[in-house]
Structure 1
Amino acid sequence: MYSSRKIGLLLVAVVLAAACARASAAEPGHFGYGSVATPAQIAGWDIDARGEDGTGLPPGKGTVDRGADVYAEQCAACHGTFGEGEGRFPKLVGGVGSLRDERPEPTVGSYWPFAPTLWDYINRAMPMPAPHTLSSDDVYALTAYILSLNDLVPAEFVADRNSLPKVKMRNRDNFIWTDPRPDTTAKPCMNACVNAADVRIASTAEGRNLTPRTTGPLDTMQPK
């Protein structure tokens, strides 16, 4: 028979085992590397601005004149003095009415649907050699200047979190946001979709040293 001491120890062991099992189920696995992202680190990556309504745009503002100065220093070498593009670098202006042509020119003025998306792209990816080096005000200024180059805003336009979503882009109404087409036109089949007698193996990888001849430890998985 068990003594009271042995029974007590057994109960303690059962309780500890249950607690460990519960902790294992509740806590995510850890592989011995990395660390939990801090709020500051998450904030550093959570910088997107939504195109349709500008959600996520930060405080700040920028004028067309200031944007011209920043553009000349940071952007013109690749995108051209007036956004015409240097070499194979993308054009930022022009192409209006060309989207149905054999060689369309999808620029900010001809293709982009939302002005806040321009701010978002510049902020996260430009200038190409050194992204994330521009202040929010300079990104607003560049956005205002590029919109002005495309005759989408007047010269006195001031870009900020309130004014950018109100800019009407030329191609805004030509996007299909909900595609009505089905994913596939094939008739779905979930059971007995093919007659097994009709299946023929046309070729295999056997003898071509493409796959191991057996499964198991790596030292036995050698081609013939």
Structure 2
Amino acid sequence: MYKRLLVGLLALGLAMAARYHLGTPLTPEQVGQYDLRPAVLPDGRGLPPGQGGVEEGARIYAERCASCHGKSGEGYPFNRLVAEPFPITPETESSQFAIGNYWQYPTTLFDYIRRAMPYGNAGSLSADEVYALVAWLLYQNGITDGSQPMNAQTLPKVAMPARALLQLDPETHKRFPWLKLP
């Protein structure tokens, strides 16, 4: 009896997998849509060619980002992006985290926007558009003066206020004492 039930469930599972095309290989185009390699590292390795400035970033932000993050990045309905750079503490509410006080590397900001934004249409921004958005966001957070366009050479040189907050956890430091954060 148990064997018949198991065989029946297996047959049902295979039939449903075929019906819903589970296990269907992806086409090269489908793979290319999500395969954004290499990942961008803190030192800038992996940044694509291109560049963008604050003015272009403001225009793109208004068109593609403001409906989720507020007119000036103040948040609502989704995360806040702009805040005065201030040190966060364990008591800081997560709703106060923003690029200016929380993100440790500007290259991570680029990589995240390129892979995950805009919501519902991830990966639709060109490298130039992402550089422009990053330039605008860094300017709005008071991290840059906005006079220099962002590109693969200038972006990794931006000093983020929250960089000093990043530390290795004690267990990692104990297991790999030679490891240093970039």
Give yes or no for TM over 0.5: yes
Q: Does the alignment pair 1:173 with 2:173?
A: no
Q: Select the residue among 68, 88, 103 that pairs with 1:99.
A: 88
- The gaps in structure 1 that reach 5 residues or longer are 1-32, 184-224
Cα deviation code 1:169-221 (max 9, x no counterpart): 001121113x22379xxxxxxxxxxxxxxxxxxxxxxxxxxxxxxxxxxxxxx
Which position in structure 2 is the counterpart of 1:50? 40
1:165 Cα shift? 0.4
**In 1, Cα distance between equivalents of 2:112 and 2:172:** 31
* Alpha-carbon contact 1:124-1:131 (below 8 Å) kept: yes
Amino acid at match of 1:53: D
Cα distance change of structure 1 residues 48 and 109 upon mapping to structure 2, 3 Å threshold: farther
Larger Rg: 1
1:20-39 alignment runs, 5 A limit = none
Secondary structure of 2:111's counterpart equals helix
AA at the equivalent of 1:118 = L
SS in 1 for 2:52: strand
Query: Runs (4+) of structure 1 moved beyond 3 Å?
Result: 33-44
- Pick aligned residue for 1:142 from 117, 133, 137: 133
Q: How does 1:204-215 map to 2 (within 5 A)?
A: none
Report whether the alignment pairs 1:70 with 2:60. yes
> Using CA pairs below 8 Å that are at least 6 residues apart, which structure has the higher relative contact order?
2
**Going by fraction, where is helix more abundant, 1 or 2?**
2
C-alpha change, 1:47 and 1:152, in structure 2 (3 Å) is same
Return the alpha-carbon distance in structure 2 between the equivalents of residues 79 and 112 of structure 1.
Answer: 16
- Tell whether 2:79 aligns with 1:90: yes
Moved more, 35-44 or 97-106: 35-44
Matches of 1:80 and 1:142 in 2, distance apart?
Answer: 14
Q: 1:141-189 deviations in whole A, cap 9, x for unaligned? A: 0010000000111121201011110000001121113x22379xxxxxx
Q: Within 5 Å, give how 1:196-211 maps onto structure 2.
A: none
Any idea what the Cα deviations from partners look like across 1:63-84, whole Å, max 9, x if unmatched? 1110000000000111111110
C-alpha root-mean-square deviation of aligned residues, in Å? 2.4
Aligned partner of 2:14 in structure 1 is: none
What amino acid is aligned across from residue 99 of structure 1 in structure 2? I
SS in 2 for 1:134: coil
Point out where structure 2 has 5 or more consecutive residues left out of the alignment.
1-22, 174-182
Q: Identity of aligned pairs, percent?
A: 38
SS at match of 2:171: coil
TM-score by length of 2: 0.72
**For residues 121 and 134 of structure 2, what CA distance do their matches in structure 1 show?**
17
